[in-house]
Amino acid sequence: MTRETGRRGLDEQAVLLAAGLADLAVSTVGTAFGTLRGLLRRSDAGALAAEAEHDLAARGRLVLDRYATMPPAHLEILARHALVRRTAGDD
């Protein structure tokens, strides 16, 4: 196999991968639009949107709770455990 043949094979492979990826994207977007169209036809679309808003707010609260608060320092936790043990030994 010559360098030119190898290069052509790689170019063809890249084109095939790009075409496959584009087809997958179009198919996924088409499916998403079909699902969205079905949701918009529902009679309880307002309630569904309110529920989605509530779920997103709850998810946002969980994320903020997880990343915004700093956990106590490791040495502070050890000191608290030692204090509990010391007071338990005094009883």
Among candidate residues 41, 56, 72, the one where a domain is terminated: 41
Same-domain check for residues 26 and 1: yes
**DSSP per-residue letters across 33-53:** HHHHHHHHTSTTHHHHHHHHH
What is the predicted pLDDT for the residue at 6?
Answer: 65
What is the predicted pLDDT for the residue at 1?
Answer: 47
Q: What is the tally of structural domains in the chain?
A: 2
Q: What is the pLDDT along the chain (91 residues), one digit of tens a residue?
A: 455 556 678 888 988 999 999 999 999 998 988 888 887 777 787 888 889 889 999 998 888 877 777 777 889 999 999 999 999 877 6
Is the full-model pTM beyond 0.75?
A: no
- Is 48 in contact with 42 (CB distance < 8 Å)? yes
- Is 58 in contact with 52 (CB distance < 8 Å)? no
Range of the domain at 17: 1-41
